[in-house]
Amino acid sequence: MGRAHHYKRSKEAPELDITTFLNLMVVLIPFLLVTAVFSRITIQELDLPEAAAGGAAPDKPKVIIEVVVRDKALEIIEGNKVVKTLAKREDTYDLAALSRFLLDLKGKYPDKEDATILIEPDIAYEDLIHVMDAVKLAEVQTEGSAEVQKLTLFPSLSIGDAP
């Protein structure tokens, strides 16, 4: 009988010791926070292309500037005609030449704020973002100094599919 009574006492649940687990968490949480990659999210503002207005006609004809991103080149369209084609060099677009040409167009139409970017299928997202940045801003270095000035070109962008 003494054995049966002794057997019941050993069946009691032992206390749960979680100090080892807590020590692991104390080390693991700071390590994960230090090694975490914090990403910055940037939002590109886009506008829908304007529909033809049914109201009164504007005083001067509206000029449409489009940049077509093709697999092999960039095309700049002014109105209904292609005015410049910039071929791709070593798998990269010539964004500096694009900005220079758009800077000339901005000089021709100083009040123009909008442009349309038309994209062929299978164009890399990064390439699209770089083209958008080049259409929005131009970096101009002033002569005689190392200072780079950023000029706003066409900040109001619309995007669509290339024809």
pLDDT of res. 32: 84
Whether residue 63 contacts residue 112, with contact meaning beta carbons closer than 8 Å, is answered with yes
Q: Is the pLDDT of residue 76 over 90?
A: yes
Amino acid at 71: D
pLDDT of res. 61: 55
Q: Enumerate the β-bridge partners of residue 89.
A: 92
68: three-class secondary structure by DSSP: strand
- pTM of the entire predicted model: 0.63
Task: Report the DSSP pairing between strands 73-78 and 65-69.
Answer: antiparallel
Domain ranges of the chain: 65-161
